[in-house]
Structure 1
Amino acid sequence: MSLRGGDPAEIGGYPLEERLGSGGMGTVFLARTSSGRPVAIKLIHQQFAGDDEFRIRFRQEVAAARRVSGAFTAAVVDAAPEADQPWMATTYIEGPTLAQRITDEGPLNGAELRRLAIGLAEALRDIHRVGVVHRDLKPSNVVLSAEGPRVIDFGISRAVDQQTLTMTGRVIGTPPFMSPEQLQAPRGVGPRSDVFSLGTLLVYAATGHGPFDADSPYITAYQVVHEEPSLGSVPDALRAVVEPCLDKEPEGRPSADELLVLLRDLPADLGGTATGGPGAGRTRDMLTQHHLMTPETPPPTAPAPPAPATPAAPPAPVAPDAGSTGTAIGGRLRRRWRPVLAAAVAVAAIGGGVAALTTSGADGNGDGTDGRGTDAGRSAAAPGGTLPDGFGPWRTTVPGGREDIPDELRCVARDDALFCGGGGVIAARVNPADGSRLWTAKSPGVPAQGMHMVGATDDTVIGYRIADQDAPQGPPTEVVALDADSGEELWSTPSGAQSTAVTGRTRDAVVAGSAVVTVDASNSRFEARDAHSGEVAWTAPFPAGTQCAPVPEGPRLLAMCATDAEVDALDRRSPTLRTLALDSGELGRPIEVEGPVVPVGDADGSLVLLSPSYEGTARAGYDGVARVDPAAGKVTYSRFDKVYDGTPGMAGGTVHLSGRTGLVTAFDPATGRKKWERQTGVEGASGPASGDGAVYFSSASGRVVALSPNDGKTLWSTDPQADGLTGEENASPRVTVAGRALFVAAAKNTLFAFDARKPPRSN
């Protein structure tokens, strides 16, 4: 890809020609030596240049790469680890990564698969012989050159005799390819950990998916540590070699030298795929595809069962004619959104392997509503500038139905209560003053990434229940209403799971006033119920040939719809928006939008949407903003000055994008003009949440930063509170604001609270 605005023209005297990729820790460029020899230069992001921990890690990477430079790796040509902005140059290896090869052409087989396996075992043998453990062997770190596979990126490697560098709040590695000991006790990781990773990588190469793929990195990590691998599609001969590599105990695995002997005995064509034995027929909810920088979108889940018939909705009234003004954005190839119950892809960021988690547009609610609907959460636990009675800083964990697979929560503050849900918790009531729990309703199934709370009214809390996969057949997902005082279940209804396919956001139910609007289990209609009694007020069938999802817009509710053909083709090029009457369910006339677009919030009576931009089939960020005026039936479009990547959100009438590396950019939704840009130390932040004169962003590790809404100036920031995956994109805001009190959700169902005017001191 070509150089972008702001990229340097040269690094260390090497003229740059193009970008090769960018990730959480740095950017890699193609450059030339004075003799014309191509080199790859990794430039560490400026914000990490002053971080001693990152400098130590980068020095270790340079040292490790120099030790292992050989036939199976990229030799170090030059490096400046002490420069103001550290960099390292290595020989440029021409060829696709293994991830790119499988994405473009599918899994490997026969002699090609055998050559890959032997070449990687040879590479590990040479790496281990010089006393280095790679610790991040994955498809995007394997380049398929004409001379054979090469292993690159020693960003989290270490010498066997070194102490492992660990950093609070960051999980180091890529969960689908990490060993059990790397997840449990990273300081004890040795060469046999790389052998485990090689086993997972060979399964990926042979089948297109890893042996432990799951809905989220937390579930993947659990399966790596506790469950048997899925090897049913691996060729029999290769599986006999891979199985011992995936032993849970390091001493049960072969060494790289022993593995090389086993692989050399494989038949030239490796035979066919297995049809039985351990793991045969085992299915996963998603296939994980790994790319150098950008995660691919996951495939659909199984269809939900049909819901019982209900009376038809009244005829839709005639609304003003739809129209548009301005120039449509997004005429290029658009990314295909897939209908999923939960979507999470764990990929490693270049230059350090810090795991980045993306949800491909799921886990939405990036409009700042946090899934609470049009008015949920308006009655805060404390008015502006005050704190709840008896408030003091606190930290707690809310156990869910699957305590072995924790996830994240999201919270709603109302009156004297804090309601939180997600991560195996339908909902829990927490005392905002001290963090004590009054009641908890658990969800028995495996937590789904991005499915948190629906919302709350004055007397009712609404959440999602995910069925236990081992339970008798029943609805896979339900919307559940709980009494706000006692936590008693009031009613439940099966829920559809197609909102991601339509809007790019996970929102299959919303709270609207005192009602709850859901998508039925057959994904064919909206249903509105009284939030407390569950009595059905109305049903509204989707327009013929479409699938729809509810989208809050100020005091209104809109229906965003895509045709069945677009959903089936995973390509929402022309979504439509219609008003959805809250008293009757009547749908207005369609307003066509040039898509795909992602709703992020409302401003001045208009729904604000962002337009994704793509490089090939990979999403590169967002290139513009669209505004829909439902009353006038008009759409206006504005382009950004360039493509910006990050998690979208809206607060105070301003659109924000928070990037994986902590860069936050603010835009005027009316013009698309950039208001300000600020580099923060909060990687993979979600947000924004606003209140008490600041906008807040927070990561899964619990880092929080407060920025001035006017110019983005950093007001304060905190240290991590949990060990969470950094680099996550498209997560809904983790910070809930109630007056001066901030309630923050982090990884592993962690919640903590503090006074926004007295934040925890950062070290």
Structure 2
Amino acid sequence: MARRRDRDPLQIDLSPDDGDLGDGGWADAPDGSAGLPTDGPVDPPPVWFATRVARPLRERWRGMPRRLRVGVVSGAAVVVAVTVAGVAVVDARAEAAHAERMAALPGGVADLSEPVTETWRVETDAGVLAVFPGGVVVTQDGTDLLGVDVADGSEVWRHELGPARLPYAATVDGPPEMGPAADGGVYVFDHVDEVLPELDPQEAADALADGRAAGTWEDPSLRVEDALTGELRGEATIALRTAHEVARCEADDGPGGEPVRWLVSSVGVTTTATYLSVCNGASTTLAADGTVVDGFPSPTVDGETYLATDAGSVVPAADGEDGFTLPGFVLDPVAVDSTDGPWLVGRGGITAYDTAGEELWSSDTRTGRVVVRADGVAVVQNDADGTFDAVDLDTGKVRWTIDGAVGTYGWAGAATDGAVALLAVQGAESTELVALDLGDGVELWRTSHGALDGEVFSVDGHLLGVDEEYMIADGVQVSDAVLVGLGPTS
């Protein structure tokens, strides 16, 4: 009897064929010959299989009651179902573990395979002032401080501060700028934004020296006080004295179109220190206890610390290992999929160093920023031609390149899920989000958000857009901002 091979219902047929040994489980062909698979030559089952396995199974099957046979078949189906469910549980756990791991990494999100869209929106007066554990961002609403959950935009808490001006409203002209500093401190910063008509760095340095001697020039200064007592913790001043230091100040057109050199100073605050920088070059740092450090200690995404100096990036000794100096400026990635990458240093091109400061490779790719470091590559924007290049972290060779037309007016943020690089680029009227496959640079999707014209960050595994505009009101710099949650469309 020829056995059917229907694929619809599950059938098990162990009845004997014509002949003494049967075919050991193979179906007969329509012409009566032994039925073998037709996708290539296959040897028939050996005689021992038909005698010791197939025949005893047939006999036992025939001896079973019909109800028991149904139970066996149902049991097999249950095993298949349980196996599929088990795989689904394993996949769900793996996805949850991946999402948790990426949420803890700078610029990390769980999944960027599908386009994102706006999921919530909160009007604020100050953008993001701070980020708290658990994905809560602190912003300002009038004279209130507001905690917003980045997952859904809901209000977590609110504290009324009264009519007093918040310290983040920095004065542009007149009184010094004030703001919160580390460990219950307050920084006081005397603004210095000056225009020098001398383009030659040495002539500009000489002009500053003459101004100091005549009392017409005051170098930018920073001091940190205790917020409760007003006690002075420490103070520091930056003086641009050499042509090398002045050369870092931007040369551009002045207010009347004449060529000038701009001397711009700024202050920054971390959880451990306050730093003062002039022309993005000379800098000094005040620790929470008032200790002055030449340069600015910067943390990296990998948990290391370096000190930016004129001689290069100094990595201090730690854990019994010697310190070393990297000849250039550290290119710390914005978004990563791990915290064990090499040191990437810019100076003309890109050079990679291991954790002991030994050179690994060097590339001619010129860039000032690494936007994504994931899946074995560093995605950088090439300063020479505006392209985005993926540099292999093992060899320094460029794996793929995409045209710089991905962004019209510049870079505005980045994120990664470990397989996709998300680039936020500013267009003429809005911010575009472009997702690139890290393996080959292929564009996976692109969305344009007309209501968002600002930067994009990753907070606790969630994408957050910040659209902030600054304005002057009664001689005080204030801002009008919108927080935008970005998530999957489904």
Normalising by structure 1, what TM-score?
0.31
Structure with greater strand percent = 2
Bigger radius of gyration: 2
TM-score norm. by structure 2 comes to 0.45
